[in-house]
């Protein structure tokens, strides 16, 4: 019987390759983590602005619908008065002034007879449910919500008029 002894072949790596990661590799990983975190933070911030804008638009729609309902129930004219300078609005018959966040730009299109000052205007609802009609635009950055008030029916609709919503 002949025995063959197998030689074990050991490959040795240089000492600097056996210890783990190099400083350059660690720095590259840290830079990637920081970039990823900053992108996520930016997306959260822009999403918060959009949510704030949408909430403001829904609040204005709610006030307009409330005013229309009051006009129908009480059989008398009701207005929603907008102050563009202070970014706020009021509903006739109520003392409270409702604010719109500073980051949201407010514009209105209404009948000339409803312009009450330099930066003030109203949307009026009549006892039969009709209105003076108009449009309220709320904008924050590229996001835009458009509220249309039909003059004949007083119907109020909320539409996303953002640039990316049209695409």
Within a domain: 10? no
pLDDT tens digit sequence for 6-24? 555 556 666 555 567 788 9
Q: Into how many domains does the chain fold?
A: 1
Specify the pTM: 0.71
What is the percent of the chain with per-residue pLDDT over 70, rounded to a whole number? 83
For residue 32, pLDDT over 80 is answered with: yes
Secondary structure (3-state) at 90 = strand
Within a domain: 84? yes
d(CA 119, CA 99): 15
Q: What's the DSSP call for residue 131?
A: B
Q: What's the DSSP call for residue 150?
A: -
Q: Are 137 and 154 spatial neighbours (Cβ–Cβ below 8 Å)?
A: no
Give the CATH number of the domain where residue 83 resides.
3.55.40.10
**pLDDT of res. 7:** 57
pLDDT tens digit sequence for 33-91? 988 888 877 766 656 778 889 999 999 999 999 999 999 999 999 999 999 999 999 99
d(CA 17, CA 89): 69
For residue 123, pLDDT over 60 is answered with: yes
Within a domain: 3? no
**pLDDT of res. 142:** 86
63 alpha carbon, distance to own chain's centre: 19
């Amino acid at each position: 019987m002949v025995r063959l002894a197998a030689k074990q072949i050991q490959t040795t790596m240089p000492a600097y390759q056996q210890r783990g990661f190099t400083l350059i590799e660690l720095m590259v990983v840290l830079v990637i983590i920081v970039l990823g975190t900053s992108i996520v933070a930016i997306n959260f911030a822009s999403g918060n602005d959009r949510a704030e804008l949408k909430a403001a638009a829904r609040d204005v729609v709610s006030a307009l619908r409330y005013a229309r309902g009051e006009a129908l129930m009480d059989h008398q004219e009701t207005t929603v008065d907008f102050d563009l300078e202070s970014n706020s609005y009021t509903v006739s018959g109520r003392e409270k002034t409702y604010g719109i966040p500073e980051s949201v730009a407010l514009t209105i299109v209404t009948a000339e007879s409803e312009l009450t000052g330099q930066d003030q205007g109203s949307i009026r609802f009549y006892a039969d449910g009709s209105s003076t009609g108009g449009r309220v635009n709320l904008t924050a950055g590229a996001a835009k919500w458009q509220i249309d008030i039909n003059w004949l029916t007083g119907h109020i609709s909320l539409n996303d008029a953002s640039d990316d919503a049209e695409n």
